């Protein structure tokens, strides 16, 4: 018995991998059923459905980039402190002195790539008409994932706390001030009065809620950090699970109906 | 003391079009362009070409094989060049490794291009002979079976030679730069392009190009036409990089992804267009479309999981190389007192920021973005067309295709390009080769509709009553949203309304009208200098 056989016949190995290497038809089928990660897939797929010129591989690319973002993001969280005192210097140190400071580059470029990949994935789904019944709802989930991807990118943009960051967020969040009804400079806000007292002021409007202050400051950094690292990733993870589950339930990889 | 970079620039004129680093970069860029064209020439000359869905049965035997010697020479030259560049540290300083290594690569490109072109010409001669009569030769030129709908077979001889010539031209340009030839895009071309470019020409041009793409899609789907456009883009981009201001904007680290976005969106738009053209032609002939050709299933292991593994490895390599090559941007520490000019949102929101030129923040920043999201979600419920589910087609869903594509390509991607590359200080428009001058003055003489109606047309002063003052605009807006939907239903959407009912139709009409409001507002601005249709700044209500 060779060493390789000894290992693959051991109790330890067999407890992890229930079946031998998927080299024959039977084991290629069971490996998809008994492996937690692989059972995301069906046992067999339509040949044309997995052709690159048809799918462009963009949905999978988006998911992989999300995983890259999670891994590099967690590593960055070990190092970065979201306070006015430390934020900028921590990023500076990541660039100049920290071992594996390249995680920041991977994280940032991965984020840009993820935005592009989401767009291209939706583009393909539109062009092949794959949002049509029975996949309508999964398209809706996909649109939500698009919105959350953009919000993830937007909230992350502030964290380096440099000029690029705060002014981009300032420009972006100024819009909230103009939200109809709940923004201090939005139409209808001046009508929201109780006994002559304005309910919507610059200290109580939508922009204030978003920024945690009248302008981009330390509370904004804190809010965006929590949104970026906890709240939105959680929401995205749940939506991704629904999205994948529905792909299977709605008939698998799309193709001519 | 802080020294302002603008001041230094003005004093020292440090806007060099060409620096040694830029010229080296350009040399390698054109080398890559030459390699792509040499490969295209070799592909046309040697490759057995069977397009999508065409049958391989009855093809001529594969006589036109890529010569082994050519492959060996090509890769050997590139290999030696790589070794030389790697061993740079061990070689004497006087030995100009960079230029010699470059020369070897260039030689490989030229050999590949010329051999491919010459071989293709040789075969053509063999088949037809000098006397013009057809001879029975070993090789024929008719094994290229184009996909249905793409037109006739291409002339292999002609196009191998054309792409070979393109390769040689690109390579010659690369050699000019590696040998320190200072060739920059001529000033008169730059000035002419700057002169004609503006928001009006840029947006109108994009709209026209979009409809040209749609109406001439059959020609665009042809690989030869597409490759011409690739070459045109390569040439335009390469030459533009010789301009300081163009380079300055395009190579900002955060803008690099947008250059990638252009390339990817362009490629995938073309790919989907080609497959749609082929499918439409096939279905018109009663043939199954490309997606129906192979209804077989295959096991996920190994066919899909291996593809995924390879994709993940490739993507990881791509990201790591990108991360090493390009440092993430980090500017001065945040300061709430000194705002940069221009202050820009992240690039994916610049289409929205561009809309601020035409709409108030509550529309451009809140209502319209919300409607984009709502509209996207509503799409599968409004689109009652049962055809075109699961395959590429344009003919079977023209309305959906045109609407979505116009929204995505022109109103989203093109506006992002405009907002990123062509909007400078004070959100003024700057040509692609124009210096971003903070002091550029653009006269703003926009007027509101109430001004036009009461003062300019009726010759009176504007009424004090807000409602009366804004009555013309209110009527226009009400007419737009109340009168147009039933009118449109009568004229264009009768069938759609009958299929989907009034609720679906009303949602569709509202979304279409909101989407159309942006180009309409643009045209009104350019023609009438119109600022707002309804302007009630007292209540922050401007449309």
DSSP for B351-396, written as a single string = HHHHHTTTS-HIIIIIIHHHHHHHHHHHHHHH----SSSSS--SGG
Residue B5 reports pLDDT greater than 70 = no
Closest CA to B352 of B339, B336, B363: B363
Q: Is there a single domain that holds both residue A10 and residue A58? A: no
At B433 the pLDDT is: 93
CA distance A226 to chain B (A): 20
Query: Is B393 an interface residue toward A (CB < 8 Å)?
Result: yes
CB A116 within 8 A of CB A56: no
Residue B306: both structure tokens together: 């291996």
Tell me what pLDDT residue A192 has. 80
Is the pLDDT reported for residue A94 higher than 50?
Answer: yes
Cβ neighbour number for residue B240 with a 10 Å cutoff:
18
Query: Which of B126-135, B146-155, B167-176 tops mean pLDDT?
Result: B167-176
Q: Which two tokens stand for residue B347?
A: 């690039």
Nearest to A126 by CA among B376, B437, B317: B376
CA-nearest residue to B297 within chain A is A46
Backbone angles phi, psi at A45, to 5 degrees: -135, 160
B269/chain A closest Cα distance in angstroms: 9
Q: Which residue of B has its CA nearest to A120?
A: B265
What is the C-alpha to C-alpha distance for residues B543 and B531, in angstroms, rounded to an integer? 9
B positions 280-319 inside 8 Å of A (CB): 289-305, 307-308, 311-312, 315-316, 319
Looking at beta carbons, which residues of chain B come within 8 Å of A62?
none
Q: How far apart are CA B376 and CA B372, in angstroms?
A: 6
Minimum-distance CB partner of B380 among A52, A92, A131: A131
The residue written with tokens 């503006």 in the block is B198
Burial, B312: exposed, middle or buried (Cβ in 10 Å; 0-12, 13-18, 19+)? middle
User: In this structure, are A31 and A67 located in the same domain?
Assistant: no
List the single residue in A61, A112, A132 with the smallest CB-CB distance to B257: A112
User: How far is the C-alpha of B246 from the C-alpha of B252, rounded, in Å?
Assistant: 10
Q: pLDDT tier at B91 (50, 70, 90 boundaries)?
A: confident
User: Is the pLDDT assigned to residue B16 strictly greater than 60?
Assistant: yes
Going by C-alpha positions, the residue among B51, B31, B47, B34 that lies closest to residue B119 is B47
pLDDT at B60 over 80: no
**Which of B275, B330, B391 is nearest residue A162 as measured by Cβ atoms?**
B330
Cα–Cα distance for residue pair B252/B386, rounded to 1 Å: 45
Q: What is the pLDDT of residues B404-441, one digit of tens each?
A: 999 999 999 999 999 999 999 999 999 999 999 888 88
Which residues of B fall within a CB distance of 8 Å from A116? 257, 260-261, 264
Tell me if B328 and A172 make a contact (CB, 8 A cut-off). Answer: no
Residue with tokens 């010569």: B67
Among residues 98-137 of chain B, which lie with CB inside 8 Å of chain A? Answer: none
Summarize the confidence of residues A82-98 as an average pLDDT: 95
Q: How many angstroms separate the CA of residue A2 from the nearest CA in chain B?
A: 26
A12 and A83 housed in the same domain: no
Residue of A139, A144, A111 lying closest to A126 (CA atoms): A139
Residue whose C-alpha is closest to residue B259's, from B272, B246, B273, B243: B246
B274-306 tens-digit pLDDT: 999 999 999 999 999 999 988 899 999 889 999
The upper half-sphere exposure of residue B454, i.e. CA atoms within 13 Å in the direction of its Cβ, equals 19
- Residue of A50, A127, A153 lying closest to B272 (CB–CB): A127
- Mean of all residue pLDDT scores within chain B: 89
* Tokens matching residue A18: 């229930």
Asked if residue A69 belongs to a domain, the reply is yes
Interface test with B, best of A102, A158, A164 (most B CBs within 10 A): A164
Query: pLDDT tens-digit profile of B482-533?
Result: 999 999 999 999 998 998 999 999 999 999 999 999 999 999 999 989 999 9
Min Cα–Cα distance to chain B from A11, Å: 25
pLDDT for the residue B138: 43
Same domain assignment for residues A123 and A36: no
| Overall number of domains in chain A | 2
Res B136: pLDDT: 47
Residues in B touching A171 (Cβ below 8 Å): 343-345, 353
Q: What is the pLDDT of residues B189-206, one digit of tens each?
A: 999 999 999 999 999 999
Note whether residue A257 is domain-resident.
no
Q: pLDDT band at residue A186, thresholds of 50, 70 and 90?
A: confident
Does B271 sit within 8 Å of A256, measured CB to CB?
A: no
Please report which confidence band the pLDDT of residue B139 belongs to, taking 50, 70 and 90 as the band edges.
very low
Same domain, yes or no, for A58 and A76? yes
Contact A50 B303 (CB under 8 A): yes
CA distance B450 to B469: 6
In sequence order, the 6+-apart residues with CB closer than 8 A to the CB of A37 are none
The pLDDT value given to residue A224: 96
Instruction: Kindly report the nearest CA distance between residue B452 and chain A, in angstroms.
Output: 23
- A-to-B residue pairs, Cβ atoms closer than 8 angstroms: 266
**In the prediction, which pLDDT does B156 show?**
83
Whether the per-residue pLDDT at B127 is higher than 80: the answer is: no
Q: CB-CB: which of B311, B336, B365 is closest to A175?
A: B365
Q: Is the pLDDT of residue B157 over 90?
A: no
The residue segments making up the domain with residue A207 are 50-249
Backbone φ and ψ for B297, nearest 5 degrees, come out as -105, 160
**Six-digit token string for B30:** 């054109």
Q: What is the CATH number of the domain that holds A147?
A: 1.20.810.10
The reply to whether A177 and A57 lie within a common domain is yes
- How far does the CA of residue B355 sit from the closest CA of chain A (Å)? 12
Q: Which residues of A177-196 are buried (b: 16+ CB within 10 A; e: fewer)?
A: bbbbebbbbbbbbeeeeeee
- Banded model confidence at residue A251, pLDDT cuts 50, 70, 90: confident
Pick the residue from chain A with its C-alpha nearest to B351: A172
Are residues A165 and B334, on separate chains, in Cβ contact within 8 Å? yes
Of B319, B324, B373, the CB nearest to A147: B373
pLDDT at site B137: 46
pTM: 0.93
Is residue A255 one of the residues assigned to a domain? no
Determine the residue among A25, A175, A215 to mutate to test chain B binding: the one whose Cβ has the most chain B Cβ atoms within 10 Å: A175
Cα–Cα dist B436/B15, whole Å: 12
Query: What band does B313 get if pLDDT is binned at 50, 70 and 90?
Result: very high
Q: List CB contacts (< 8 A) between B377 and chain A.
A: 139-140, 143
Percentage of chain B exceeding pLDDT 90: 66
Chain B (362-391) residues lying within 8 Å, Cβ to Cβ, of chain A: 362, 364-367, 373, 376-377, 379-381, 383, 385-391
Judge contact between B395 and A131, C-beta under 8 A.
no
Residues A128 and A204 in one domain: yes
B5 near A CB under 8 A: no
* Rounded Cα distance, B286 and A137, in Å: 32
Q: Identify which of B292, B304, B346 has the shortest CB distance to residue A45.
A: B304
Residue of B nearest to A216 (CA): B336
Q: Closest residue of A to B343, CA-based? A: A167
| Residue A254 covered by a domain | no
Taking the C-alpha atoms of residue B421 and residue B199, their distance in angstroms, rounded to an integer, is 12
Domain locations along chain B? 15-183, 184-326+391-442, 347-390+443-542
Longest dimension (CA), chain B: 92
Mean pLDDT of A182-207: 85
Return the number of other C-beta atoms located less than 10 Å from residue A12's C-beta.
7
In Å, how far is A94's CA from the nearest CA of chain B? 11
Cα separation, B95 vs B275, whole angstroms: 51
CB < 8 Å to A68, chain B: 316, 319
Same domain for A205 and A151: yes
- Mark whether A36 and A62 lie in a shared domain: no
Q: Are residues A196 and A76 in the same domain?
A: yes
Higher pLDDT, A46 or B14: A46
Distance from CA of A84 to the nearest CA of B (A): 9
Do A36 and A55 fall into the same domain?
no
Please report how the helices A218-226 and A136-158 are oriented relative to each other, as an axis angle in degrees rounded to 10.
Answer: 140
Question: What ipTM was predicted for this assembly?
Answer: 0.94
Mutate: best of B223, B330, B383, B407, partner A, most A CBs <10 A: B330
Q: Which residues of A touch B295 (CB under 8 A)?
A: 46-48
The reply to whether A143 falls in a domain is yes
User: Nearest-CA residue of chain A relative to B345?
Assistant: A168
- Decide: B386 and A211 in contact? Cβ < 8 Å: no
Residues A146 and A224 in one domain: yes
Please report how the helices A58-79 and A232-249 are oriented relative to each other, as an axis angle in degrees rounded to 10: 160
How far apart are the C-alpha atoms of A159 and A83, rounded to whole Å? 9
**In terms of CA atoms, which chain A residue is nearest residue B365?**
A175
- CB contact at 8 A, A91 and A104: yes
B268 part of contact set with chain A, CB < 8 Å: yes
């Amino acid at each position: 018995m060779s060493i390789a056989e000894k290992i693959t016949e051991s109790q330890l190995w067999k407890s992890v991998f229930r079946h031998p290497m998927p080299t024959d038809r039977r084991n290629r089928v069971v490996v998809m059923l008994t492996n937690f990660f692989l059972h995301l897939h069906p046992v067999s797929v339509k040949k044309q459905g997995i052709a690159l010129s048809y799918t462009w591989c963009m949905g999978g690319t988006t998911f992989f980039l999300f995983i890259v973002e999670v891994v590099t993001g967690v590593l960055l969280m070990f190092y970065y402190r979201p306070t006015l005192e430390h934020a900028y210097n921590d990023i500076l140190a990541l660039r100049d002195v920290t071992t594996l400071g390249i995680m920041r580059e991977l994280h940032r470029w991965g984020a840009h790539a993820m935005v592009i990949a989401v767009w291209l994935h939706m583009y393909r789904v539109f062009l092949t008409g794959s949002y049509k019944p029975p996949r309508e709802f999964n398209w809706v989930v996909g649109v939500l994932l698009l919105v959350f991807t953009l919000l993830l990118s937007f909230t992350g943009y502030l964290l380096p706390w440099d000029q690029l960051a705060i002014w981009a967020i300032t420009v972006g969040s100024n819009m909230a001030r103009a939200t109809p009804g709940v923004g201090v400079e939005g139409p209808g806000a001046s009508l929201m009065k109780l006994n002559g007292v304005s309910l919507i002021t610059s200290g109580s409007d939508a922009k204030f809620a978003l920024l945690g202050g009248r302008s981009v400051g330390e509370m904004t950094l804190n809010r965006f950090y929590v949104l970026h690292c906890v709240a939105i990733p959680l929401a995205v993870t749940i939506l991704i699970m629904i999205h994948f589950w529905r792909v299977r339930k709605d008939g698998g990889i799309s193709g001519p109906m | 003391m802080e020294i302002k970079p603008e001041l230094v620039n003005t004093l020292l004129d440090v806007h060099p079009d060409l620096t040694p680093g830029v010229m080296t970069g350009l040399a390698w860029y054109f080398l890559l362009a030459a390699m792509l064209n040499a490969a295209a020439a070799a592909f046309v000359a040697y490759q057995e070409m069977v397009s999508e869905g065409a049958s391989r049965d009855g093809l001529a035997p594969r006589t036109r094989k890529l010569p082994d010697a050519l492959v060996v020479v090509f890769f050997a030259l590139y290999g030696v060049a790589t070794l030389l560049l790697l061993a740079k540290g061990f070689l004497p300083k006087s030995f100009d490794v960079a230029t010699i290594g470059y020369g070897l690569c260039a030689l490989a490109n030229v050999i590949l291009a010329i051999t491919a072109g010459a071989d293709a010409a040789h075969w053509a001669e063999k088949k037809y002979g000098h006397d013009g009569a057809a001879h029975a030769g070993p090789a024929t030129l008719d094994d290229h079976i184009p996909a249905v709908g793409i037109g006739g077979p291409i002339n292999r001889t002609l196009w191998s030679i054309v792409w070979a010539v393109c390769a040689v031209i690109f390579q010659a340009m690369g050699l000019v730069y590696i040998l320190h030839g200072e060739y920059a895009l001529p000033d008169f071309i730059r000035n002419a392009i700057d002169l004609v470019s503006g928001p009006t020409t840029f947006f109108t041009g994009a709209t026209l190009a979009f409809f040209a793409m749609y109406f001439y899609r059959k020609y665009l789907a042809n690989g030869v036409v597409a490759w011409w456009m690739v070459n045109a883009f390569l040439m335009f981009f390469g030459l533009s990089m010789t301009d300081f201001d163009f380079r300055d904007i395009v190579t900002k680290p955060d803008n690099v992804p947008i250059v990638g976005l252009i390339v990817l969106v362009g490629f995938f738009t073309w790919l989907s267009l080609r497959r749609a053209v082929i499918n439409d032609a096939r279905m018109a002939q009663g043939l199954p479309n490309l997606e129906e050709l192979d209804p077989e299933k295959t096991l996920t292991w190994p066919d899909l999981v291996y593809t995924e593994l390879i994709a993940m490895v490739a993507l990881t390599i791509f990201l790591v190389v990108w991360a090493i090559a390009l440092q993430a941007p980090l500017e001065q520490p945040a300061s709430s007192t000194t705002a940069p000019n221009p202050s820009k949102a992240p690039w994916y929101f610049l289409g929205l920021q561009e809309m601020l030129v035409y709409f108030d923040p509550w529309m451009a920043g809140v209502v319209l973005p919300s409607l984009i999201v709502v509209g996207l979600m509503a799409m599968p419920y409004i689109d009652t067309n049962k055809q075109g589910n699961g395959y590429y087609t344009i003919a079977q869903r023209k309305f959906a295709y045109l609407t979505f594509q116009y929204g995505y390509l022109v109103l989203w991607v093109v506006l992002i390009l405009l907002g990123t590359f062509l909007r400078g200080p004070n959100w003024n428009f700057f040509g692609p080769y124009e210096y971003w001058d903070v002091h550029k003055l653009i006269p703003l003489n926009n007027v509101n509709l109430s001004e036009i109606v009461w003062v300019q047309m009726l010759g009176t002063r504007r009424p004090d009553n807000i409602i009366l003052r804004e009555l013309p605009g209110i009527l226009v807006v009400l007419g737009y949203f109340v009168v147009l939907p039933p009118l449109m239903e009568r004229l264009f959407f009768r069938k759609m309304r009958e299929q989907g009912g009034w609720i679906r139709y009303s949602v569709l009409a509202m979304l279409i009208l909101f989407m159309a409001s942006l180009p309409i507002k643009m045209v009104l601005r350019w023609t009438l200098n119109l600022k707002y249709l309804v302007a009630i700044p007292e209540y922050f209500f401007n449309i």
